[in-house]
């Protein structure tokens, strides 16, 4: 007897599990939460009548229908609430036997203990059957009428049929997604599973049931196996009801991002694709979801419980529904998920406002929105608009809430709020699926439920006896599958008086501590004011300063407000125009001086470099995030700065080494051209385009630093490095961390300094990440497998003195900083160049003609730049028009400085205000316009221009000035030139359709002041079929000749 037949026998022994037989039913006198077909929001019908005929909703009226079909059962629903059944878009029904075992489990522990690979050797088909059946009945009892079951119990043909048969017998509406996965413990591969799936899909087993077959697969990316194509083809061949995948990028490494699945041409088909979790979703992925109308499944409780969280889901709820996930670990019902998610969203967006010391004046999410996510959105995710709603013609999947008698709902008026905020599963009176009652009068409408219960408990006891002796996995010092370390999370302290938990946070002396801190700050301010008055008596005056009435914070509130509006560069430009070459602002106890003219830069930064090359004290960014190992943030008098600067010059950035890096630059930009040419979607929207530019810049420099590349746009290492660099840079912006403005806050005990705890944890993570790269490179060298080209880290390893650095580990950390410094500025510069070409198309056309007349049909290379002076002018004007670091990284003075009739005191923070200088109309005619011709005749490199003794002849100040000028100008010239030439040669640069003109830069601001962000409406398309053919041929040749490299993310 086949196992699937045996299970039918088992089902017959317990009676028909499916609900009470279908007939016509009229619910009378109810409050009905209904939808109009054209409206996304529900409407409330009071004292209504809802008629069900067979499996559909036939009518919804406010008076009793004059005629009813024969054999219609009339059900009194006076003062009750009728809502759509809930839809669960992510569940693993078979795991019910584990209930209460995983109450404190992390995701890493789950994989090693309760996941399908860990469970496969211990669960037989009967265990799967009873667990699946009990789990789905539990869901029905909670009003979950539809479940998308990611059925990863398919580690044998028998267990697969067991779960499917249980789903059929349950009476629930189930989208049962057969999971394809290699199961090493049982030597059971995807290749083995494919014929079993085909047999199941063709068996006719699902006819006349509420179950439809789908596919679940978790190896779409990164680096999918060859068999992934076969799985995708199966989905299309059988036109399955759904495809679903666990999407967990970031440190978890289980990517399966929308862009991964899109590479298999699945997103644009009629098949719905549901991405479970979508944690660490990329901008490219989010855009693809919207373009292709595919959905995330947010599982709020599991994502909080297990620790994979949902950092981006708050921003894409228009393409999301809700799920439960592993119901054995926590609540099985969607009502709880919706309630948790509602308050999580509120907390998240409230905190955004409160973190700026502002008071929220509106609620960011309504109960109606959360209710829709739990119902209608699930139907849309599955592309079944007839599910999750109450309207004529929709499926009769309903919940009747006992609002008339429940103590929890006493006094309700708003039915949606009553359900979302006050009801519980115990308030569910009836549940109907497909017109059949599966729960009635508060009890499951199932024959012989006691038999099912007894059989399940026998199975569960057997499983729990096996697991009683299993230790939880230990992860000390180990990497996960994504190449990231496991870490201990801080354990909550809930006992009184321990000093780092509940007791510590509410110690009696806390108020005294804060009061003392404030008092100390005031004393410091008074003392500094007195000292300044004594010290400055008879000295030259300070430069002018904008007025402020805030005696403690000074100008900080105004600057923070401007920063929130992405206008801080414009504020400092305005003040420069009003107060001249030098002015200062007050940030708490500090004065920040802004240098706003080329002559002042020459006098202060260049000629007085010995007194103006130190850095301020950045407590968070420099001391805690970077542990004083970041070249950019160190003071020039420190030994580490001098040794790192020397190692950078001799190991990476001098002229000869910049030329040696050209092959990597040429290859990676050619790969970029080919990627965009082969997949027009990447060039059709800014988010994937930004990712592609990021890939080639990071890969170019990681190849030169570590000999490791970044081959894929969706590599988690791109977001990881970008986020690391951004955190360091944002931390040095004026006012970003209050502790840098009010240093006295650094005296607080550690438990009151979350910024320090987070920063030090970040440094530990980053340092170990870098050491892992060092370990891999050394292993390659020792094995004779290192790439033949010389890299920065290899030069350090092979130099007896490590190029003057203290250790190889510190060198690897410096390597990461060099990748960040080179890549991010190159990426931002390229993005700003594209903004210029959009805004000034005449310049774009002229530059393209220059390139075409010089190189014709071949791909340009850096060596062509000398033959195209206009392209160098475009580069110079790009850096002038949008300097990557608009307000400069601040220096500090080591003694009083005199400039003209003003004194800049010792210890002052000074900024090279490149934005204001570049907008000075006395230096640059019509500065807001992009005019490359202003540099006509200037063929100097960036280094040659910066070294000019006549500062008025200098092209721009994007690289800084003085002793701390950016050491990477040779590399920057090459990177930017090749990017500009190749983009113009290969692509038409145009606006997204529907873009409002004229372009307003403030409508797409970036993280760095004055630079465009990801909303910039740019589109790249290949100029001609001939260009496409040339790109393909050149890239194929480059691939054949390229040396092999391991990926940086490995």
Indicate the annotated binding residues for heme.
Answer: 966
Name the token pair of 910.
């000074």
Largest CA distance in the chain: 106
Cα separation, 325 vs 316, whole angstroms: 19
The residue length of the chain stands at: 1050
Are the C-beta atoms of residues 905 and 542 closer than 8 Å to each other? yes
Identify the bridge partners of residue 331 per DSSP, sorted by sequence position. none
Are the C-beta atoms of residues 748 and 517 closer than 8 Å to each other? yes
Output the known binding site.
966
Which contiguous run of DSSP H or E holds residue 521? helix 510-536
* 3-state secondary structure (DSSP) of residue 359: coil
Query: 456, 322, 442, 457: which is closest to 379 by C-alpha?
Result: 322
Which contiguous run of DSSP H or E holds residue 641? helix 639-648
* 3-state secondary structure (DSSP) of residue 587: strand
Query: 980, 955, 803, 950: which is closest to 874 by C-alpha?
Result: 980
Identify the bridge partners of residue 430 per DSSP, sorted by sequence position. 400
Please report, for residues 20, 25, 31, 89, 545, the alpha-carbon distance to residue 394 in angstroms, rounded to integers and kept in the order given: 20, 15, 18, 19, 68
Are the C-beta atoms of residues 961 and 989 closer than 8 Å to each other? no
Query: 446, 375, 341, 368: which is closest to 144 by C-alpha?
Result: 375
Name the token pair of 820.
């960040």
Cα separation, 273 vs 266, whole angstroms: 8
759-787 CB burial, b ≥16 within 10 A, e <16? bbebbebbbbbbebbbebbbebeeeeebb
Are the C-beta atoms of residues 403 and 412 closer than 8 Å to each other? yes
Beta strands in 879-1032 (DSSP E): 891-892, 897-899, 902-904, 909-912, 987-991, 1018-1022
Peptide bond into 998 cis (omega under 30): yes
Are the C-beta atoms of residues 213 and 178 closer than 8 Å to each other? yes
**C-alpha triplet 324, 326, 330: angle, nearest 5°:** 75
Q: How far is CA 537 from the centre of its chain?
A: 55
Cα separation, 483 vs 775, whole angstroms: 13
Please report, for residues 26, 98, 122, 134, 979, the alpha-carbon distance to residue 468 in angstroms, rounded to integers and kept in the order given: 51, 11, 13, 22, 60
Torsion of CA 237, 243, 249, 254, to 10 degrees: -70
Please report, for residues 86, 726, 1028, the alpha-carbon distance to residue 695 in angstroms, rounded to integers and kept in the order given: 41, 16, 21
Cα separation, 686 vs 692, whole angstroms: 10
Are the C-beta atoms of residues 966 and 818 closer than 8 Å to each other? no
Cα separation, 703 vs 706, whole angstroms: 6
Identify the bridge partners of residue 277 per DSSP, sorted by sequence position. 247
Query: 216, 125, 153: which is closest to 179 by C-alpha?
Result: 216
* 3-state secondary structure (DSSP) of residue 904: strand
Taking the CB of residue 203, how many other CB atoms lie within 10 A of it? 13
Cα separation, 341 vs 421, whole angstroms: 12
Peptide bond into 9 cis (omega under 30): no
Which contiguous run of DSSP H or E holds residue 989? strand 987-991
Cα separation, 446 vs 171, whole angstroms: 9
């Amino acid at each position: 007897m086949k196992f699937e037949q045996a299970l039918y026998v088992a089902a017959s022994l317990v009676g028909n599990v499916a609900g009470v037989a279908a007939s016509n039913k009229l619910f009378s006198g109810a409050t009905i939460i209904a939808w109009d077909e054209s409206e996304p929001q529900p409407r409330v019908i009071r004292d209504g009548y809802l008629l069900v005929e067979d499996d559909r909703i036939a009518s919804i009226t406010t008076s009793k229908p004059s005629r009813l079909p024969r054999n219609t059962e009339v059900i009194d629903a006076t003062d009750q609430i009728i809502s759509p059944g809930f839809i669960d878009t992510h569940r693993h029904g078979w795991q019910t036997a584990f209930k209460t075992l995983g109450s404190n489990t992390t995701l890493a522990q789950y994989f090693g203990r309760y996941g399908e690979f860990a469970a496969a050797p211990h669960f037989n088909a009967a265990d799967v059957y009873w667990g699946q059946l009990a789990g789905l009945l539990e869901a029905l009892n909670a009003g979950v009428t539809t479940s998308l079951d990611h059925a990863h119990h398919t580690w044998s043909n028998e267990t697969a049929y067991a779960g499917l048969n249980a789903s059929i017998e349950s009476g629930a509406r189930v989208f049962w997604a057969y999971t394809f996965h290699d199961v090493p413990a049982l030597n059971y591969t995807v290749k083995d599973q494919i014929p079993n799936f085909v047999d199941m899909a063709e068996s006719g087993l699902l006819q006349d049931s509420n179950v439809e077959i789908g596919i679940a697969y978790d190896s779409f990316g990164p680096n999918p196996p060859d068999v992934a194509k076969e799985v995708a083809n199966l989905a299309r061949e059988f036109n399955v009801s759904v495809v679903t995948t666990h999407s967990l990028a970031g440190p978890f490494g289980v990517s399966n991002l929308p862009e991964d699945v899109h590479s298999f041409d699945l997103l644009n088909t009629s098949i719905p694709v549901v991405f479970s979790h979508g944690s660490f979703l990329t901008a490219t992925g989010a855009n693809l979801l919207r373009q292709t109308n595919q959905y995330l499944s947010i599982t709020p409780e599991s994502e909080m419980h297990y620790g994979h969280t949902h950092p981006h889901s708050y921003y894409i709820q228009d393409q999301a529904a809700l799920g439960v996930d592993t119901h054995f670990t926590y609540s099985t019902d969607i009502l709880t998920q919706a309630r948790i998610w509602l308050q999580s969203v509120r907390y998240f967006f409230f905190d955004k406002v409160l973190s700026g010391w502002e008071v929220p004046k509106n609620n960011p999410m309504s109960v109606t929105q959360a209710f829709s996510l739990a119902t209608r959105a699930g139907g849309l995710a599955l592309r079944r608009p007839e599910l999750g709603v109450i309207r004529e013609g929709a499926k009769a999947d309903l919940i009747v809430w006992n609002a008339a008698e429940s103590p929890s709902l006493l006094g309700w008026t708003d039915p949606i709020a009553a359900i979302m905020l006050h009801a519980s599963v115990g308030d569910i009176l009836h549940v109907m699926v497909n017109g059949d009652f599966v729960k009635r009068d508060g009890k499951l409408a199932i024959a012989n439920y006691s038999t099912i219960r007894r059989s399940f408990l026998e199975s569960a006891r057997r499983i729990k006896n096996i697991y009683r002796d299993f230790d939880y996995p230990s992860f000390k010092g180990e990497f996960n599958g994504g190449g990231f370390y496991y870490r201990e999370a801080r354990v909550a302290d809930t006992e009184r008086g321990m000093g780092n938990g509940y007791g510590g946070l509410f110690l009696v002396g806390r108020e005294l501590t804060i009061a003392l801190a404030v008092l100390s700050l005031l004393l410091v301010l008074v003392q500094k004011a007195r000292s300044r008055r004594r010290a400055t008596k008879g000295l030259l005056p300070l430069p002018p300063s904008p007025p402020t009435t805030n005696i403690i914070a000074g100008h900080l509130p105004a600057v923070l407000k401007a920063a929130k509006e992405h206008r801080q560069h414009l504020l400092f430009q305005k003040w420069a125009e009003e107060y001249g070459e030098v002015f200062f602002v007050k940030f708490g106890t500090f004065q920040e001086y802004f240098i706003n003219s080329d002559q002042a830069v020459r006098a202060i930064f260049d000629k007085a470099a010995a007194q103006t090359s130190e850095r301020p004290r950045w407590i968070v960014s420099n001391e805690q995030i970077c542990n004083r190992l970041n070249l950019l943030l160190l003071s020039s008098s420190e030994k580490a700065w001098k040794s790192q600067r020397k190692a950078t010059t001799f190991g990476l950035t001098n002229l000869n080494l910049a030329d040696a890096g050209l092959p990597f630059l040429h290859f990676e930009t050619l790969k970029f051209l080919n990627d965009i040419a082969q997949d027009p979607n990447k060039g059709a929207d800014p988010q994937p385009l930004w990712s592609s530019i990021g890939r080639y810049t990071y890969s170019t420099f990681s190849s030169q630093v570590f000999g490791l590349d970044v081959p894929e746009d969706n590599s988690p290492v791109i977001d990881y490095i970008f986020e690391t660099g951004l955190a360091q840079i944002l931390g040095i912006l004026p006012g970003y961390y209050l502790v840098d403005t009010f240093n006295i806050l650094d005296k607080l005990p550690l438990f009151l300094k979350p910024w320090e705890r987070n920063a030090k944890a970040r440094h530990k993570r980053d340092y170990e990440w870098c050491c892992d790269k060092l370990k891999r490179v050394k292993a390659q060298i020792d094995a004779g497998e290192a790439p033949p080209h010389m890299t920065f880290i290899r030069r350090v390893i092979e130099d007896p003195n490590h190029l003057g650095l203290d250790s190889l580990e510190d060198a690897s950390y410096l390597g990461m900083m060099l990748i960040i410094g080179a890549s991010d500025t190159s990426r931002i510069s390229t993005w700003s160049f594209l903004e210029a070409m959009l805004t000034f198309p005449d310049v774009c056309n002229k530059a393209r003609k220059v390139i075409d007349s010089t190189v014709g049909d071949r791909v340009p290379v850096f060596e062509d730049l000398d033959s195209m002076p206009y392209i160098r002018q475009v580069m110079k004007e790009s850096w002038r028009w949008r300097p990557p670091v608009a307000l400069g990284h601040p220096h500090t003075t080591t003694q009083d400085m005199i400039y003209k009739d003003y004194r800049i005191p010792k210890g002052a923070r000074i900024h090279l205000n490149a934005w204001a200088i570049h907008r000075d109309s006395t230096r640059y005619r019509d500065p807001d316009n992009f005019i490359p011709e202003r540099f006509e005749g200037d063929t100097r490199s960036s280094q040659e221009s910066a070294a000019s003794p006549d500062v008025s002849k200098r092209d721009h100040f994007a690289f800084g000035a003085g002793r701390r000028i950016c050491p990477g100008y040779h590399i920057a010239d090459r990177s930017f030139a090749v990017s500009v030439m190749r983009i113009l040669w290969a692509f038409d640069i145009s606006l997204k359709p529907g873009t409002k003109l004229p372009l307003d830069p403030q409508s797409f601001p970036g993280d760095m002041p004055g630079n465009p962000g990801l909303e910039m409406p740019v589109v790249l398309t290949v100029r001609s079929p001939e260009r496409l053919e040339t790109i393909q041929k050149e890239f194929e040749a480059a691939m054949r000749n390229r040396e092999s490299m391991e990926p940086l993310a490995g």
